Amino acid sequence: MSSKNKKILPYSLAINEALHQMMAKDKSVFIIGQGVKSVWYVGNTCRGLLEKFGEARVIDTPVSENAVTGIGVGASLAGLKPVVIHPRLDFMMYAFDPIINEAANWHYMFGGKSSAGVVIRGIINRGGEQAAQHSQAIEALFAHIPGLKVVMPATAYDAKGLLISAIRDKNPVIYIEDRWLYQEKNQVPQKIYAVPIGKGVIRKKGKDITIAAISYMVPQAIKAAEELKKEGIEAEVIDLRTVKPLDIPLILKSVKKTKRLVITEAAWLTGGVAAEISAQISNKAFKYLKAPIERVCLPDAPAPMSKPLEKSYFINYNDIIKTIKKMIYV
């Protein structure tokens, strides 16, 4: 289905459209990172940018994650709007210093005299027997840091709208995308629009349990809810969209209605964003809860390579269903 103002786009091309439109509209926007010229690195998210905007604003770099990110941060201090791209979150760990020590602290430690309005796109690219260092989802580490905002869109619509918001934001924004979502398609307006940072959304209404899902686990949660409906369990699915700051009021409102909460995040269990949500909701909605809050997350282990191990390591809608049944049929 395609109309004049909207079209069906996959997630990856929604990112691409946001970059095209923002770079055309605002000369201060530029992209820099490893592999921005290469489909192999960044999928089709950077398609056509080099041809349209030239090498001055589409800067492919050597493998120097630390300096390249620092350059992005530095350019943002100069008032430009850089989008730094890391083709894998794993590689981005070299850039913790400019992200955490510099960008996140900059506005505070100079008493508001300067700020790093930089966007850092980190891509989670896992599965396919890539093992430990090509699989890691570390959003919780960034969410832990004061001064950073962390967004994790799950739909094409949000992928575009949140990237636009991130580019417009005056603070450093970590924009984390999951390549397992690149083919998720939905209607995307052709105009420039913003999805507000810090606001979740209810994807599916329900009365029996709330599933708070992040990124890749959103479509899995919706699928789980559809399966559960066949058994008469009506789950409400919340897509958090932003993991820092969290939309606690939205989850709280839902939990007060459903009395049960399961949080799902395709990242490690210990110290994850799910743990933070659990702590906050336990604190604010303790008397409403009919069951302990559950988390459906990755086991506390590095990603394995071998196919059978990989299959049992990654989580999907079945894990959510199992957990919910356990919570409801106690």
Partner 1 sequence: MKNKYPKKFLTGLYQKMLEIRLFEESLVEPILKGEIKTPCHLYTGQEAVAVGVCASLKRTDYVFGNHRSHGHYLAKGGNLNALMAEIFGKETGCSRGRGGSMHIIDTSAGFLGSAPIVAGTISLAAGQALASKIKKEKRVTVSFFGDGATNEGVFYESLNLAVLHKLPIIFICENNLYSTHMPIRECSANTKIYQIAKAFKMPSFKIDGNNVLEVFETVKKVVDRARQNKGPAFIECLTYRLRGHVGPDDNVQGLHTDIRSKKEVETWRKKDPIKKFEELFIENGVINKKNLEEIYQKTNQKIKEAHKFAQKSAFPKKSELLKYVFKK
Only one of the segments 10-18, 68-76, 247-255, 279-287 lies at the binding site for partner 1 (rule: CB under 8 A); that segment is 68-76
Judge whether 134 counts as a catalytic residue.
yes
Site string for partner 1, 6-35 (x = CB under 8 A): ------------------------x-----
> From CA 59, how far away is CA 148, in angstroms rounded?
24
> From CA 14, how far away is CA 5, in angstroms rounded?
14
Single-letter amino acid, residue 326: K
For partner 1, the binding residues in 76-105 under the rule CB under 8 A are: 76-80, 82, 97-98, 101-102
Phi, psi (5° rounding) for residue 76? Answer: -70, -30
* Residues facing 162 on adjacent strands: none
DSSP class of 304 = P
CA distances from 224 to 185, 217, 302 (A): 19, 10, 26
Judge whether 236 counts as a catalytic residue.
no
Q: Of 6, 26, 50, 67, which lies in the binding site for partner 1, with binding defined by CB under 8 A?
A: 67
Say which of 86, 134, 184, 236 is annotated catalytic.
134
Q: How many residues bind partner 1 (CB under 8 A)?
A: 43
Q: Please, what is the minimum distance in Å from the beta carbon of residue 149 to partner 1?
A: 8
Q: Please, what is the minimum distance in Å from the beta carbon of residue 97 to partner 1?
A: 6
> In this structure, what token pair is assigned to residue 23?
């770079």
Instruction: Give the chain's end-to-end CA distance (angstroms, integer).
Output: 44
Q: Please, what is the minimum distance in Å from the beta carbon of residue 57 to partner 1?
A: 7
Q: Of 34, 125, 171, 220, which lies in the binding site for partner 1, with binding defined by CB under 8 A?
A: 171
According to the binding rule CB under 8 A, does residue 109 interact with partner 1? Answer: yes
Site string for partner 1, 132-161 (x = CB under 8 A): --------------xx-x------------
DSSP 123-176: EE---TT--GGG----HHHHHTSTT-EEE---SHHHHHHHHHHHHH-SS-EEEE
According to the binding rule CB under 8 A, does residue 281 interact with partner 1? Answer: no
CA distances from 214 to 20, 174, 202, 222, 247 (A): 26, 15, 12, 12, 12
> From CA 91, how far away is CA 98, in angstroms rounded?
14
According to the binding rule CB under 8 A, does residue 106 interact with partner 1? Answer: yes
According to the binding rule CB under 8 A, does residue 72 interact with partner 1? Answer: yes
Q: Of 2, 38, 64, 306, which lies in the binding site for partner 1, with binding defined by CB under 8 A?
A: 64
Q: Please, what is the minimum distance in Å from the beta carbon of residue 28 to partner 1?
A: 8
Q: Which residue lies nearer to partner 1 by CB, 148 or 228? A: 148
Q: Of 36, 71, 140, 238, which lies in the binding site for partner 1, with binding defined by CB under 8 A?
A: 71
Q: Which residue lies nearer to partner 1 by CB, 105 or 186? A: 105
> From CA 124, how far away is CA 137, in angstroms rounded?
6
Q: Are strands 6-10 and 29-33 parallel, antiparallel or unpaired?
A: unpaired
b/e map of 2-31 (b: 16 or more CB within 10 Å)? eeeeeeebbbbbbbbbbbbbbbeeeebbbb
Q: Which residue lies nearer to partner 1 by CB, 88 or 149? A: 149
Catalytically annotated residues: 65, 134
Q: Which residues bind partner 1 (CB under 8 A)?
A: 30, 56-57, 59, 61-62, 64, 66-80, 82, 97-98, 101-102, 106-115, 117, 146-147, 149, 170-171
